[in-house]
Amino acid sequence: MELVVQAIEAAAALAPFKERTLSWAPEIAGFDPGPIGAFMGCDFHLTPDGPRLIEINTNAGGAFLNAVLARAQHRCCTPPLQDASTNGLLDGFEGAVLAMFHQEWQRQGRDSVPARLAIVDDDPQSQFMFPEFRLAQQMLEARGIETVILDPSELDYTNGVLTARGRPIDMVYNRLVDFALEAPNHRALRHAYLDNAVVVTPNPRVHALMADKRNLILLSDARTLREWGLNETEAGYLEKAVPDTRLVSAEDAETLWSNRRRLFFKPVAGHGSKGVYRGEKLTRRVFEDILKGDYIAQNFVPAGERTLRIDGEVTTRKVDIRLYTYAGQLLLAAARVYQGQATNFRTPGGGFAPVFQV
């Protein structure tokens, strides 16, 4: 999985790949201030033939929670059999996160360190991941970076300075799902970002290059990637790991409908499993809506399963693996345990789970 992540990073750095992805991205993605995106997330299903990449996310949530969870559980999970790499990641997590934010800061031409960082999301206290925001705040403040948690409506951009609550904001850890910063109450952040007045990570360009669902069409086309200059080894990793993906088009409606049981449909700008459909469960009415929207169709890869005990009863749950990465390097691995057609946190006995290498 780490090698697949590094191959994705190599593909995304190719000039033809950038040109193609930016061709369907919003205009704001053309601005390149330098940062490459904090907390990239790559989600995999485990199969008998190896891992399969299901999705790439630019603001992957859960890393801080999973670090706490893994530390709480690692003593009970047969410690003598654990590979040292698992504990190495946990021991070095805070240092790696701090280095990541410093690098993002420096990639935009800043020196020293940011004095004040804002974790920004819409109505953050109502967000499912709000406890993680607090963990991130505590960690960053313990290392000398004043950190606030804000709704974007609290930001003001005047005379070239982004402020909140009357004080300057140097850096934004962006957890918004408005990836192009188009909403009216995101206007101050958008203007400050485009004026290079604040460092934003992850930013709209990173989302366009890495996480737009249409990019999976390119990543599943190993022949084209080879023609664009990706080396044989990296192209081979992607060829094996990335399910065939195509853009949904009304012209292909008949073929898509007849093959729907082997497909999974996702909105190109979707997030959090919203608006996704497993083909075999599609009704004609929903399929017609998909044809009118911006969707991709990805070859369906069943999730792996794990056996667990819930309230004394042995049962099975689906599981996927998320790698949190920066610049292609692993920060942490975690699992998500769930039931249903898409990942969710409502399943009894489900949610995040630590991953231990043995």
Quick check: is 350 in a domain? no
Domain assignment present for 162: yes
Does 152 fall in a domain? yes
pLDDT at 281 over 90: no
Taking the CA atoms of the chain, what radius of gyration do you get in angstroms? 21
Q: At what angle do helices 232-241 and 2-12 cross, to 10 degrees?
A: 110
174, part of any domain: yes
Q: Residue 186: which CATH number?
A: 3.40.50.1760
Query: Is residue 209 a part of any domain in this protein?
Result: no
Both 105 and 192 in one domain: the answer is yes
Give the residue from 175, 201, 227 where a domain finishes: 201
pLDDT of residue 107: 97
Q: Are residues 173 and 99 in the same domain?
A: yes
For every residue of 113-165, DSSP letters joined together read --SEEEEE-SSGGGSTTHHHHHHHHHHHHHTT-EEEEE-GGGEEEETTEEEET
In this prediction, residue 90 carries a pLDDT of: 87
CATH number for the domain that contains residue 272: 3.30.1490
Arithmetic mean of pLDDT over the chain: 92
Question: For position 42, what pLDDT does the model report?
Answer: 97
Give the confidence band of 123 by pLDDT, cuts at 50, 70, 90.
very high
**258 within a domain of the structure (yes/no):** yes
pLDDT value for 81:
64
Whether residue 106 lies inside any domain: the answer is yes
Q: What angle do CA 131, 133, 139 make, to 5 degrees?
A: 105
Span 163-202, pLDDT tens digits: 999 999 999 999 999 999 999 999 999 999 999 999 999 9
Residue 268: give the domain boundaries: 247-300
Percent of the chain with pLDDT over 70: 96
Answer yes or no: is pLDDT of 1 > 80.
yes
pLDDT digits (tens, 9 = 90+) for 241-260: 999 999 999 999 999 999 99
Confidence of residue 80 (pLDDT cuts 50, 70, 90): low
The total of structural domains in the chain comes to 2
Is the residue at 291 inside a domain?
Answer: yes
Among residues 136, 171, 201, the one where a domain terminates is 201
The answer on 262 and 195 residing in a single domain is no
| Domain boundary residue, one of 300, 316, 341 | 300
Residues 188, 287 within the same domain: no
